[in-house]
Structure 1
Amino acid sequence: MLINFANQNSPPWAKSNNTDQGLGFSLASDGEAIVVCAPQWYAERKKFNERNYLPVGMCFAAKSPTYKFKGFSPPFDGQNVRSMSYLNTGSCQFGISAAHLKAQNTFALGAPGCWTWRGDTWEVGLAPDSDKHDLRHLGKQIWQDGNMNTKWENSYYLGYSVASFKFAGQNGIVSSIPRITDESDLTEGEALGPSIVVLTQNSDNNTLKVSLKISPSKVNVDDIRFAFFGYSLATLDTNGDGLEDLVVGAPFYSSSKDSYDQGAIFIYMQIGSEYDPYKMEEEDSAPQRKGSKSFSRFGSCLAAIGDLDGDGYEDLAVGAPFMTVDSDEDAGTGVVYIYMGSEEGLGKDDTRQMIKAEPKLYGFGSSIAQQLPSIEGQGYDLAVGAYGSDTVLVFKSKEVVDVIWNMTFIGKIDFSKDECICEQLLRLCPCIDLEVCLIYHKKNVKYEDNIKLGFNITLSTVNDELFFSNEKTELQEKFEVEEDKRKCKILRVLAKPGIEEIRLFTIMGHVNFSKEEKRVIIDRHSVIRKSEDLPITIHCNASDISGCQSDVIFQYDILDNYVLMSSQSMKIHFKVKNQGETAYDSKLNIRSNDVFKINNVENDEVVCEENIKKEIECKLGRLDNNAKVYFNLSLIPTQEFLSSLDTHAPFFNMTAEVTTLSALSNPDTAIKQIKAPIDVQGSLQLIKQPSQPGFVYFNSSSYYKSAKEAKSEEEIGPEIKHTYKILNANKFSIYEADLTVHWPHTIDGKYFLYLMENLSVSEMYHSCHYPSGLVDPFNLKADTQKQGSQTHEEKTSALVGIGDKSPEYKEITCSFGEIPAGEEITVSLRSRLVFRTLKELELGTSVKNASSFVDLQITKMPLNHDPPPPSSSTINTKISYQNENPDAVVPVWLYIVSTLGGLLLLGIIVVILWKCGFFKRNRAQTPDNVTKNEEEHLTEEGKMEQVMEQEEEQEDIKTPVSPMLKETESAAADFEFHRA
């Protein structure tokens, strides 16, 4: 039916132009009567020779079957139109919201522009004659008398949204006040808005009165201030207690500073007459239901849509018309969320269902029909408007079926018996039968026909050891079932042979329709997923595994110790034996403060791994009576152990325990304390360096002073330097070590190797103790070197030579702290050999070496392990007595120097003789002087020249030509001879 409102009866004051009046902005119906409003329909007023148009607002009402609409506007006073303005009812915008009052068969209409936009709310009872409608409203007096308990402020917008509400047993109206006018009022607690007022009839003067004011809780004040709390309203019984509850939409709500216009809804529950009939409670932690994205404006529209799923609880639809569905390209398409009622109240966000338009419609969810009856006459459908696309979509509700199904094992499975054929394994396997049954029942019948529904029950095994007759771990079975008729099937479950471990084996299953059903849906309360544990036969005199009396004992032997910082792991041999009833699901657990990695397990039937508690867990499986399990377990500690070497004991403390699902008759025999020693294999390398110099030459005729007489160190003898190196080549630190230097201080009480300065030690903290008078007692070197911590004390000399006049040694003891891995320490001693002592004692050649030696002892190893034996090293400086012993071997370098000197001298003599003319003399040349070799090399032309020269010589005889003439004629012109 299409109704042209231009031809409908309008009041004479209404402007004849019908455009831009907002007709249809609100609409309400009781199933027979319809009210549709145009809140911007305006009246014409002439004042001061000017024509004004007052947006009073007007509604049209009609009843079936004629649907002849007549307009009415209670705020308009035709008698006093000249006095109307925004200060009274001249800008009411009557009909901006409309709702049918269910129990009273009247209509509630909001007028938020009355009284300088404080607002008003009307209750209208329709009559055949629009002039005789039954009217009630709050009016101006409610603001003037202070009944709203607030300051005299403007712009509260009372009546922006209205809804029917049965409160404390009375039929009433809920009307929203979505704004506050002054933030200071909010902090003082005097602000009226944002809030919801419950209006009931005042029988004394046929007006409306405020029975209750509902405001959001204080914790939400900061969020709700500009959220437009009350933009939309809905009333429904969410929990089935017979009392209507209130849902308030706030589409501009933001949950954080980083989000905008998410939107939210608030729920207020009636307490009931048993407690306080005039009180409503806001649900905890409100709001619990919010928009998931910014700018979605969730809560712009609310609608009580009836009991869609037939569970006896009313459901709610919430529109989010600017919601972005999938991508930014879908911005503003909008969605509708369905919240189902339940005994606990309205469902939460995680249970809501989302409806979106296909194809995309902009503004989808801007309006939703309240309790739209189904075309089939039973239940409700859902109508949603999309204002941006000028479209209304009607979604047909489906029949809801409650599905009841179960899985039941028949008997118990015995893993020790192979009774069924496993074609995949080509052998017999343990097996058991599983009965699966299903029945369904319609909860909201919309169609009287009884059709068969197809269901799929999908079964799957949690453990790979179980499978079905299709030889897979998943099986899908189809059921064709009529309503209220139970159907069952027997399915076979098989197990792999040889399962010894008794543990939890589970079959999972879920049910769904075998194909897409357009008419039905499974009830959300139906259990669609189930699991069933496999019953297992046990072999003992008890009814379950825990009653089996096992008697497990075990022993261990440590085959290999762990060697610190090496690849050698700790190897332990375990022997486990059960002397009682079967022990099911047996495990050997190893606990320790240290964390280990499993290096190897020498038994293919034993699986060891690290569990979540960082314990080593070795699965032994089922241990029957007299069963034995032997295996070797190799463990190596993790890096965490290496960081505690300075405090760790020299062994690993471990607790090994055998556990089982069966009872242990002697639990003490199933647990052992293990102390596994840790080997520390390492030492310090003591490396001697060559003496500097390697030998010294002693000449008894040379004059040297004694140490007492000398003024400088050079006067007592040559310098000798001994150097030792200490190297930690291990992969770990050595915590403490002592170095003892044995120094040849004197011979027969006279200084031998006079130590010039303290030990020179490379960058390593140390502490050394020196005997008194050892280091430069006569201060021949004024800037005696000091390093580390030095102390001097008297010590008895140690005689280590042979005979009466052997070197007397004194000990220098140095202690070192931690020596890191790879660290090298250099220890040097600089001294002077006192030649005067050798001469005065007339030792001859009895002292051939000036030798020092050192002992190195590690005093503290990692893990307090026993240190290795000490190491020693000696450096010798040879003393040469060449003049004292002719048989002494002359060094090779002396031969080389002498030879080179002789050759140099000979060359000088030859040059001098040549310069003096010793070699400048001529000898007579004869033909015999010409060598045969020269004749052999003469050419024919050369021979002719020689003959001619001989002839010329016969004519003029001169001094014979010598073969050396060309080399000497320039320097020996005075040696020419002439024949007489």
Structure 2
Amino acid sequence: VQVELCFAYNQSAGNPNYRRNITLAYTLEADRDRRPPRLRFARSQSAVFHGFFSMPHTRCQKLELLLMDNVRDKLRPIIISMNYSLPLRIPEHPRLGLRSLDPYPVLNQAQILENHTEVQFQKECGQDNKCDSNLEIQAAFVSELGQPLSRLQYSRDGRKLLLSINVTNTPSRERAGEDAHEALLTLAVPPALLLSSVRPAGTCQANETIVCELGNPFKRNQRMELLIAFEVTGVTLHTRELQAQLQLSTSSHQDNLWPMTLTLLVDYTLRASLSIVNHRLQSFFGGTVMGESGMKTAEDVGSPLKYEFQVSPMGEGLTALGTLVLGLEWPYEVINGKWLLYPTEITIHGNGSWPCRPPGDLVNPLNLTLSVPGDRPPSPQRRRRQLDPGGGPAPPPVTLAAAKKAKSETKLKCGSDQARCVWLECPIPDSPAITNVTVQARVWNSTFIEDYRDFDRVSVSGWATLFLRTSIPTINMENKTVWFSVDIDSDLVEELPAEIELWLVLVAVGAGLLLLGLIILLLWKCGFFKRARTRALYEAKRQKAEMKSQPSETERLAGDY
């Protein structure tokens, strides 16, 4: 920028032919009211320049000003202020008497000694150099696929949140939509959201707030899309929503830039896992039928079962916000009302051990005496070996269902029309360690002997579900389900006949053949095998024929008289 400085004077009194050389002292200052200034003088390297001007010898001076880098305010003009003065001259040798005042000129006090000049930036803002912008914003929290979000499904596995922002500056009926100078977008977000990345890169900077530079100027009909990614770190079970406030600003004229508030409801998704030590157990049934009234201990019911479930910690303390519950769909009875799997005890092992008693008195309802903990069901092979008093190797027994291969196995499961299941619930403690739930039960031996003795194996199955029970709609957890089953083999056997020695078989065969020969010989001696001569019985007897005359009817009548 070049500034031309010109001075001239006129004598207001005294000698009209006065043409002496007069030197003025002047000061130029750029952007006096702004810090930092936008210009600096090339000769002084500052926004202030002090100089002298000699008249009438010099008419004009040219000064060069340099524009500072990264000037943001290009809307308001740069004001260059100037003031000048005439240095006061004191006589070197004062003396009394009248003297000429021509060597000691003074400035007219009625004249303004300061001047201001405006330097405008080139801009597209009309003839009045005033810009009337029309900034508008649309914003929403979105998923990674770009779908708008009204609720945040928060979990420890996924902590990314995207904010999509669209800014436009288009003309409308009310506003001209001219250049928006120093267009900024300011975001105020909660501490739970940490700025991760911005597209386009380098647009936004995060301090106490997030400031995004949209353009200087943000041109007429310009559009800009921002995608801001946040890391969600400070969300807890008590967080119900996240709010972000967006504010557009510009140094151009626009009086309708109100703050915009975005609210995102938070659904806190808990993470917990459920596992089972052994999905499939092996058991058996056999022996004799025992009535319910004759049972005193759990051992009288049948072979024992033991399921062990493990619940992993969630990492967040629920306290009074909800309860984690393990539910069992338990195969309780067959369809005719007879017992199926009789639950005897449910124990929870966490920070200590305590029993679980589901409502409805469904666990050990007969109050049978429980067996010693650690009881294990013997395998069918072991039970069958115990039935062999000899202790040595023996041929495998033949089961009663061995000849009925088409019906050798049947399945009873919850949800079918062959078994009736009940729902057992146990609350899981809020603990940072793994919680074990042990379910002990007995196979109701009498039911299997009476109803399933024709089957070689009966498979019984159910399932367990881990779920969250809470009255707070923003806290949820995906249900975890595992299945469990038991294969109950028939232990009803009938023994094979004793083995017969070979020589006994040979002697018996020989003795039988000898006896048969003796019988045949005896019958022959008695003539049992002789044939009778029956030819005469079948020969016809010969009769002689005699010729006699037959009397007439008259002779027969005369003879009668």
TM-score band (shorter)? 0.5 to 0.7
Cα 1:844–1:595 shift into 2, 3 Å: closer
Counterpart contact for 1:573–1:633, Cα < 8 Å: yes
Q: Which amino acid aligns with 1:775?
A: N
Instruction: Give the drift of 1:706.
Output: 4.6
Match of 1:590 in 2: 187
Counterpart contact for 1:555–1:574, Cα < 8 Å: yes
2:209 alignment partner, one of 600, 612, 615: 615
1:556 alignment partner, one of 135, 139, 151: 139
Work out the CA distance in 2 between the residues paired with 1:654 and 1:635. Answer: 13
Match of 1:689 in 2: 277
2:163 alignment partner, one of 567, 571, 595: 571
Cα 1:617–1:498 shift into 2, 3 Å: closer
Counterpart contact for 2:3–2:65, Cα < 8 Å: yes
Corresponding position: 1:756 with 2:341: no
TM-score (norm 1): 0.33
The secondary structure found in structure 1 opposite 2:367 is: coil
Match of 1:721 in 2: 306
Instruction: Give the drift of 1:885.
Output: 9.3
Counterpart contact for 2:140–2:165, Cα < 8 Å: yes
The secondary structure found in structure 1 opposite 2:368 is: coil
1:469 alignment partner, one of 42, 46, 49: 42
Q: Which amino acid aligns with 2:136?
A: I
Corresponding position: 1:825 with 2:446: no
The secondary structure found in structure 2 opposite 1:770 is: coil
Work out the CA distance in 2 between the residues paired with 1:473 and 1:847. Answer: 101
The secondary structure found in structure 2 opposite 1:590 is: strand
Q: Which amino acid aligns with 2:440?
A: R
Work out the CA distance in 2 between the residues paired with 1:572 and 1:589. Answer: 14
Instruction: Provide the aligned length of Structure 1 versus Structure 2.
Output: 380
Match of 1:876 in 2: 485
1:711-763 superposed Cα distances (whole Å, 9 cap, x missing partner): 33233322211122233567897954443212222334333322222343534
Cα 1:533–1:745 shift into 2, 3 Å: farther
Cα 1:860–1:504 shift into 2, 3 Å: farther
Work out the CA distance in 1 between the residues paired with 2:153 and 2:228. Answer: 13
Work out the CA distance in 2 between the residues paired with 1:534 and 1:814. Answer: 82
1:490-536 superposed Cα distances (whole Å, 9 cap, x missing partner): 753322678564489999xxxxxxxxxxxxxxxxxxxxxxxx99965
Bigger mean CA offset, 565-574 vs 674-683: 674-683
Cα 1:858–1:493 shift into 2, 3 Å: farther
Cα 1:710–1:839 shift into 2, 3 Å: same
Counterpart contact for 1:706–1:837, Cα < 8 Å: no
Cα 1:683–1:464 shift into 2, 3 Å: farther
Corresponding position: 1:740 with 2:327: yes
Match of 2:465 in 1: 855
Match of 2:197 in 1: 600
Work out the CA distance in 1 between the residues paired with 2:232 and 2:120. Answer: 40
Cα 1:882–1:779 shift into 2, 3 Å: closer
Work out the CA distance in 1 between the residues paired with 2:163 and 2:494. Answer: 67
Cα 1:801–1:585 shift into 2, 3 Å: closer
The secondary structure found in structure 2 opposite 1:630 is: strand
Percent identity for Structure 1 against Structure 2: 13
Counterpart contact for 1:861–1:867, Cα < 8 Å: no
Instruction: Give the drift of 1:830.
Output: 1.0
Cα 1:876–1:779 shift into 2, 3 Å: same
Q: Give matches, 1:360-371, under 5 Å.
A: none
Corresponding position: 1:778 with 2:390: no
Cα 1:722–1:660 shift into 2, 3 Å: same
Q: Give matches, 1:911-950, under 5 Å.
A: none
Q: Which amino acid aligns with 1:770?
A: P
The secondary structure found in structure 1 opposite 2:447 is: helix
Match of 2:503 in 1: none
Q: Give matches, 1:109-188, under 5 Å.
A: none
Counterpart contact for 1:558–1:571, Cα < 8 Å: yes
Instruction: Give the drift of 1:597.
Output: 2.9
Instruction: Give the drift of 1:598.
Output: 2.4
1:312-357 superposed Cα distances (whole Å, 9 cap, x missing partner): xxxxxxxxxxxxxxxxxxxxxxxxxxxxxxxxxxxxxxxxxxxxxx
Instruction: Give the drift of 1:871.
Output: 3.7
Counterpart contact for 1:559–1:573, Cα < 8 Å: no
Query: Unpaired runs of 5+ in structure 1?
Result: 1-430, 436-456, 482-487, 508-531, 785-797, 887-980
Q: Which amino acid aligns with 1:778?
A: N
Counterpart contact for 2:243–2:263, Cα < 8 Å: yes
Match of 1:177 in 2: none
Cα 1:707–1:662 shift into 2, 3 Å: same
Q: Which amino acid aligns with 1:826?
A: N
Corresponding position: 1:660 with 2:250: yes
The secondary structure found in structure 2 opposite 1:663 is: coil
Match of 1:28 in 2: none
Q: Which amino acid aligns with 1:719?
A: P
Q: Which amino acid aligns with 2:240?
A: H
The secondary structure found in structure 2 opposite 1:809 is: strand
Q: Give matches, 1:470-489, under 5 Å.
A: none
Match of 2:498 in 1: none
Alignment RMSD, CA only? 5.2
The secondary structure found in structure 1 opposite 2:216 is: strand
Counterpart contact for 2:183–2:218, Cα < 8 Å: no
Cα 1:780–1:766 shift into 2, 3 Å: closer
Work out the CA distance in 1 between the residues paired with 2:64 and 2:471. Answer: 66
Counterpart contact for 1:719–1:831, Cα < 8 Å: yes
Counterpart contact for 2:189–2:244, Cα < 8 Å: yes
The secondary structure found in structure 2 opposite 1:714 is: helix
Counterpart contact for 2:302–2:445, Cα < 8 Å: yes
Q: Which amino acid aligns with 2:358?
A: H
Q: Which amino acid aligns with 1:642?
A: V
Cα 1:549–1:476 shift into 2, 3 Å: closer
1:200-243 superposed Cα distances (whole Å, 9 cap, x missing partner): xxxxxxxxxxxxxxxxxxxxxxxxxxxxxxxxxxxxxxxxxxxx
Q: Give matches, 1:895-974, under 5 Å.
A: none
1:516-569 superposed Cα distances (whole Å, 9 cap, x missing partner): xxxxxxxxxxxxxxxx99965475469786xx4322222235443666343523
The secondary structure found in structure 2 opposite 1:781 is: coil
Work out the CA distance in 1 between the residues paired with 2:62 and 2:200. Answer: 41
Instruction: Give the drift of 1:690.
Output: 0.7
Cα 1:885–1:569 shift into 2, 3 Å: farther
Corresponding position: 1:495 with 2:91: no
Match of 1:813 in 2: 425
Q: Which amino acid aligns with 1:720?
A: L
The secondary structure found in structure 2 opposite 1:837 is: helix
Counterpart contact for 1:620–1:629, Cα < 8 Å: no
Work out the CA distance in 2 between the residues paired with 1:464 and 1:816. Answer: 69
Query: Unpaired runs of 5+ in structure 2?
Result: 6-27, 54-59, 80-115, 144-148, 374-411, 496-561
Q: Which amino acid aligns with 2:350?
A: S
Q: Which amino acid aligns with 2:254?
A: L
Work out the CA distance in 1 between the residues paired with 2:449 and 2:196. Answer: 70
Corresponding position: 1:642 with 2:254: no
Counterpart contact for 2:348–2:356, Cα < 8 Å: no
